[in-house]
Structure 1
């Protein structure tokens, strides 16, 4: 695992992965009335797919965005890295934020033929992801079986756009700027040329399922603690999967901090990066390499119970 160069993605790649891994974000438009634009901002959570380098957004018919964009097409769109289940409450308690993408641009409504094309792309994406999961090997299903798919499956959460009774207006979000914001709040501007040239990982649509599947398994979380100990010589009291990508994954570990005056040891949550020996080109490769690492650390720790 060690000695792998270029083990961290570029900011552009991180942005693409986040946009592909999630299915909902916060859309902001400028409030408007019959007299024109106002200074106030209207914000709501909307669902989307990421296609050909742009978000395609489904806005409910009754949402104020539909009026606002007639007067002023300018808008912004914010999407966070998936933080499903127990990870959400952990990040709040640790006073950490998930990484996120902030986009500015124009919110442009699609005409009928373009709406049909976007809807067909949505249908194809849902079917493709469903097929990957249903046809996956034991290595993949063993991890995903612990995940709450109703909350973490991108295809399951997008399905209501096709089958629900609510009517939507579909928009294309034309980018003007892109910003990657890390978990510490640091903002990193991403050039549009770099953004357009980058590609999202093929495992990104399954990120939320993978993260939740690993975090819901006590055995796999113990394995993450062993990763910290065997690979980094760090004694973690607890650990959670934070993010996944083709080059590796990030773990949030609960590690000792400085001892207090009364002699008690305090703990803090700290991020650790683990890199694969080879890039994981898909969800199958990711799960196989993760399991191989689990088996490797178990061989180095005697008396440790199996992962089952």
Structure 2
């Protein structure tokens, strides 16, 4: 298993992938009253899509953001890497947070015509993702169907097209971007770099990929074998925490220190596994993962004399 640092994603690419993989974020605007902006912050979770590299936000009609932005259009928008299923609570137990992106900029309202045009684009995005899922091969479908609909980006965006609740639509014009890793370290990312790179094609499906793999005991067993064969780590369990076109990250639960009572403790340790070639779509990701699983099982069988 080759590990080439040159194949690691740039921070701009990581930010783009996080933005493309999620469907909701926390919008912050400055509270306003008759005297203008007072400096207090109003925060709420809202849904969004990325279009031409820019976030477009659907804010419920009764949300205070709609009033705040009339007085002061400045705002910030934070989006986390989606950690569905059991891996979310596991990360909390080891005091690690999902990687996230913090944007600062201006919240610009769209005209009614532009909002209607964007709604059509949103519908196209949802239909395109659903069509892709229906056309996936058996191997890929097997991974994605191991999860539930709550991890489906298209299903979560669907409510934005309904008539039950009206929304105001905004463009978030980015002025700054910060990448924040799971331990709170921050990296400022140049906006020009963000404009140059594109998100991975697998990013919109990453939540379903992560949860589908982690919900499968055989696949988690394969992740444990990856840790043993390639990293010499004896894992009690293992979970995928992020996926991209170059590979994936695994959180392994491994033995730690032994207490005074002689009871062994466990801790989480992260490992990065690279593909032999870039996975430019979901099919390629699942195919290469299956090939790696077969390869590591063969290595273990050979070394144990079973083959």
Q: Secondary structure at the match of 1:302?
A: helix
Cα distance in 2 for residues equivalent to 1:119 and 1:16: 22
Shift of 1:5: 5.0
Structure 2 equivalent of residue 78 of structure 1:
78
Cα distance in 1 for residues equivalent to 2:140 and 2:108: 39
Normalising by structure 1, we get a TM-score of: 0.96
Answer whether contact 1:23 1:154 (CA < 8 A) is retained: yes
Cα distance in 1 for residues equivalent to 2:5 and 2:72: 46
Structure 2 equivalent of residue 153 of structure 1:
152
Post-superposition Cα deviations, 1:43-74, rounded to whole Å, max 9, x if no partner, equal 00000001111100000000000000000000
Post-superposition Cα deviations, 1:108-146, rounded to whole Å, max 9, x if no partner, equal 000012112211111111011001100000111010110
Structure 1 equivalent of residue 46 of structure 2:
46
Cα distance in 2 for residues equivalent to 1:256 and 1:198: 39
Answer whether contact 2:3 2:273 (CA < 8 A) is retained: no
Moved over 4 A (4+): none
Q: Secondary structure at the match of 2:122?
A: helix
Mean CA deviation greater in 1-10 or 285-294: 1-10
Cα distance in 2 for residues equivalent to 1:164 and 1:236: 49
Answer whether contact 1:4 1:276 (CA < 8 A) is retained: no
Post-superposition Cα deviations, 1:241-278, rounded to whole Å, max 9, x if no partner, equal 10000000000111122333444332111111000000
Structure 2 equivalent of residue 100 of structure 1:
100
Q: CA RMSD in A?
A: 1.4
Structure 2: gaps spanning 5 or more residues: none
Query: Are residues 99 and 3 of structure 1, via their aligned partners in 2, closer, same or farther at CA, if it must alter by over 3 Å?
Result: closer
Normalising by structure 2, we get a TM-score of: 0.96
Alignment partner of 1:219 is 2:218: yes
Cα distance in 1 for residues equivalent to 2:61 and 2:100: 27
Structure 1: gaps spanning 5 or more residues: none
Structure 1 equivalent of residue 178 of structure 2:
179
Say how many residue pairs are matched: 303
Structure 1 equivalent of residue 263 of structure 2:
264
Cα distance in 1 for residues equivalent to 2:91 and 2:182: 10
Cα distance in 2 for residues equivalent to 1:229 and 1:164: 52
Post-superposition Cα deviations, 1:212-237, rounded to whole Å, max 9, x if no partner, equal 00011111111110110111111111
Structure 1 equivalent of residue 296 of structure 2:
297
Structure 1 equivalent of residue 111 of structure 2:
111
Query: Are residues 81 and 164 of structure 1, via their aligned partners in 2, closer, same or farther at CA, if it must alter by over 3 Å?
Result: farther
Structure 2 equivalent of residue 24 of structure 1:
24
Alignment partner of 1:162 is 2:161: yes
